[in-house]
Amino acid sequence: EKGGYASFMLKEIAEQPKAVADTLLGRIDAEGSLTLDEVRIPVSVLREATKVVIVACGTAFHAGLIAKYAIEHWTRIPCEVELASEFRYRDPILDQRTLVVAISQSGETMDTLMALRHAREQGARVLAICNTNGSTIPRESDAVLYTHAGPEVAVASTKAFLTQLVACYLVALYLGQVRGTKWGDEIRAVIRDLARIAEDVERVLETMEPVRELARSLAGHDTVLFLGRHVGHPVALEGALKLKELAYMHAEGFAAGELKHGPIALVEEGLPVVVVVPSPRGRSVLHGKIVSNIQEIRARGARTIVIAEEGDEAVVPYADHLIRVPVTPTLLQPLVSTVPLQVFACELATARGNEVDQPRNLAKSVTVE
């Protein structure tokens, strides 16, 4: 059933272009607008929502962190993202005009379920983003947008994460569409870009051999740091989580701007640091800042592993290893920049002799609080 792959994880990484395309299927009409009829929350409710609150755990939480950038940019609705396990214990402010989005691959994660029950008790509407038909989370939600990743067997989430991102973008763009924000043209352009993104994911997968080689060369290290800004920050967190759970290494993700407020003290000679670089187009200020961050850590001896867009020449002098990803709109970049980090963690774990499909101490679905 592994289809010739050494692990389910490798198979599921390879299935990502299809998973992404399947999750878009039937949701973009001939005119390039979104049709999310299955989201059975009246459009009037979506128009009047004053706040979006996303609850999720682990990798799904990272998808939520990325969704916040998209939702706030395209809809101007304030969006909070919270770890489901913390949510109900802090007496969150919720009412009928709050749209809660619960993201879960399995649909059975107890922390997420308890968070959504709490939200509904307070009168909020809950939209689930879920990969498992008929599971508990969608059954207890007001509406569900299914991701079509297909069954995910490996404990570490890969293809489900990419489809969670796609679903989050669809929700953000749909909210923008029904509320008619000033970003109408941009929304239409991004829908067109999204429709093509599976090919970009495929292209990334075709260029992963140097990443595997690099991962093997780092098997003897104890620590790897991950840096990013903007949507690259959650990508850095996800890269670190994958490495912890699979390679059992000390891995941490930071917002690159936070470096100087503490984490830079960790940098020493030879420390591998992965940096997720935003596009130099559009948000160029951000790009310049991260290039300085790369210079700062390199000056202190870090071995820099830079993930940057094709054609971004500014990073070249400071990258000990350069991983290229296709040119994509800034907000969509996580769909391509996460993939090398999955491959990196999988290969590094294998090089360290670990069983990637069944990491120690972990279960695929966490049905206890």
**Stretch of 103-111, 269-277, 317-325, 343-351 lying at the interface with ligand F6R (CB under 6 A):** 103-111
Report how many residues bind ligand F6R under the rule CB under 6 A.
15
| Least distance from ligand F6R to the Cβ atom of residue 278, Å | 24
Question: CA 121 to CA 172: how far, in whole Å?
Answer: 25
Structure tokens at 350: 């294998």
The candidate with the shortest Cα–Cα distance to 155, out of 291, 338, 315, 345, is 345
Of the pair 300, 364, the CB lying nearest ligand F6R is at 364
Question: Binding segment for ligand F6R among 56-64, 208-216, 254-262, 288-296 (CB under 6 A)?
Answer: 56-64
58 belongs to the binding site for ligand F6R (CB under 6 A)? yes
Residue 51 bears catalytic tag:
no
Residue nearest to ligand F6R (CB): 58
Q: Find all residues with CB under 8 Å of 200, minimum gap 6, and list them.
A: 325, 326, 328, 335, 336
**8 Å CB contact between 110 and 369:** yes
Residue (9 or 79) nearer to ligand F6R, CB = 9
Pairing of strands 79-83, 98-104: unpaired
Half-sphere exposure of 15 (CA within 13 A, CB side): 26
Q: Which is nearer to ligand F6R, 107 or 176 (CB)?
A: 107
Give the one residue of 7, 16, 23, 59 binding ligand F6R; rule: CB under 6 A: 59
Q: Count H helices and E strands in the chain, helices first.
A: 13, 10
**Which of 2, 51, 289, 364 is labelled catalytic?**
364
Q: Least Å distance between CB 296 and ligand F6R?
A: 30
Q: Does 163 bind ligand F6R (CB under 6 A)?
A: no
Single residue of 157, 330, 338, 342 touching ligand F6R by CB under 6 A: 157
228 — phi, psi (to 5°)?
-160, 165
Strand order in the sheet with 321-325: 250-255, 223-228, 272-276, 303-309, 321-325
Residue 156 or 297: the one with the smaller Cβ distance to ligand F6R is 156
Binding residues for ligand F6R restricted to 221-280, rule: CB under 6 A? 241, 245
* Piece of the chain touching ligand F6R by CB under 6 A; list 55-63, 175-183, 264-272, 333-341: 55-63
Interatomic CA distance for residues 161 and 19, integer angstroms: 10
- How far is residue 78 from each of residues 83, 135, 174, 324, 329, measured CA to CA in Å? 17, 29, 16, 33, 22
147 binds ligand F6R (CB under 6 A): no
109 near ligand F6R, judged by CB under 6 A = yes
Check binding of 60 to ligand F6R (CB under 6 A).
yes
What is the spatial distance between Cα 236 and Cα 252, in angstroms, rounded to a whole number?
A: 8
CB of 17 to ligand F6R, least distance (A): 20
Burial pattern 118-147, b for ≥16 Cβ within 10 A else e, equals: bbbeeebbbbbbbbbeebbbbebbbbbbbb
Q: Between 74 and 169, name the residue whose CB sits nearer to ligand F6R.
A: 169
Q: Which of 7, 23, 98, 106 binds ligand F6R (CB under 6 A)?
A: 106
* 75-94 CB burial, b ≥16 within 10 A, e <16: bebebbbbebbebbeeebeb
* Contact footprint for ligand F6R (CB under 6 A): 57-60, 104-106, 109, 112, 156-157, 241, 245, 365-366
- Active site positions, annotated: 364
